[in-house]
Structure formats: structure tokens, C-alpha cells
Amino acid sequence: MLNLYSGYAKGKLSLELNKRTPEEILKFHPEIRSMLEAIKEKGWKYLYIETKGRAVAEVDLEKNPCKLMPYAEYGGRGYWTIDVEIEKPPETKDVPEVQEFRINVCTKSFPRAATVDLSKGVITYLHDPFWKWESGWEKDPKKLSEAKEVYDVAKWLLEDKKLKLHENMSIERYKEICKILEEFIKQ
């Protein structure tokens, strides 16, 4: 059986952390913050869905009580953990990589007009009144109005902000729907 050791740690410990809050990511990625501000300027809102980023933090271990504890023993090799008492969570020093920053773009009628991963610049979802447009819907003013609302978001994201459609979504389908809707919107 491995023994437990107590003592004090010295020096600084660099940590790599994965699950980060939107606020932490935005602090280090102004390009994402500016996109969120642009969404608000359009009169829309956004809702955070999932954020994930690799962050770097540092803990000053000077005179912090610690324990070296056995974690496991495999084939005669011991693995240990260090338990260090710190007063508060370490401050994030940087977020060098954002793996995911998914949001819903919310319009007046739709809390999920579009879903976008801002870290990848990809639209992963467009709401059904637009994406599943069917011939004959143009005769229904409500369906046309709903499709136009999502169309405005999609067009802005793709054409103005230069985002891409997810690989499961067809750019040809997008263009086809836009062409149909633009005929009725002009009327």
C-alpha cells in the first residue's frame, strides 16, 4: 500500500482547463464578442447553447498546504495526486483555443431561427419555415412571413458575415429557396 505524505508545495502550477464559460471565452476572443454585438444590432437576440475552450490558468502554490496521495498502483508503478488547498479558483490567463461556441440566433417569432457555431463559422441549423419550404406555402401569408424572418437571418449570416453552411446542409438548397422567396418578397 502506498503512503500519504503532507507538506507544502512551492512554485507555480500551470493548469490547462477545458470547460469554459462564455464570458471567459469572450474576454479573450473579441471577434466572437463583435459577432454577438452585430446580432444585437440587427434587432435579434442570441442564446448560448454550448461553449468549450482550452484555457490556461496558474496557481501560486507558495505556502499552500498540500498532500501527496496515492491514486492507483499498476504493475508495481504508483500513480499519485496532489491535493492543494487554495482559497479561490485560479484566474484564467488565456483561452488560446475555442473548440465550440454554439448559439441560437433568436428573432421575434423564433427562439431558434438559426443555430451557429461561431468558433467554426458554421451554420448548423435553419428553422423549418425557411429550410423546409414547400411549393404552395407562398399563398399563406403567415408561412411567407415566417420564411422571410428566417431568410433575413440566413442571408445575413451567409452573405454578410461569410459563415458557411454545415456539410449536412446544401448551399444549392439555400440558393433555391432564396430565389423563390425573393420573387414573393418583392411583390
pLDDT tens digits, residue range 4-54? 666 666 778 788 888 789 999 999 999 999 999 999 999 999 999 999 999
CB 176 within 8 A of CB 129: no
Q: What is the pLDDT of residues 120-179, one digit of tens each?
A: 999 999 999 999 999 999 899 999 999 999 999 999 999 999 999 999 999 999 999 999
Q: What is the structure's pLDDT at 58? A: 86
Cα–Cα distance, 54 to 38 (Å, whole number): 25
6 beta partners: 67
Tell me the backbone φ, ψ of residue 97, rounded to 5 degrees.
-140, 130
Question: Structural domain boundaries of the chain?
Answer: 107-187
Phi, psi angles (nearest 5°) of residue 164: -115, 155
Predicted pLDDT at 3: 57
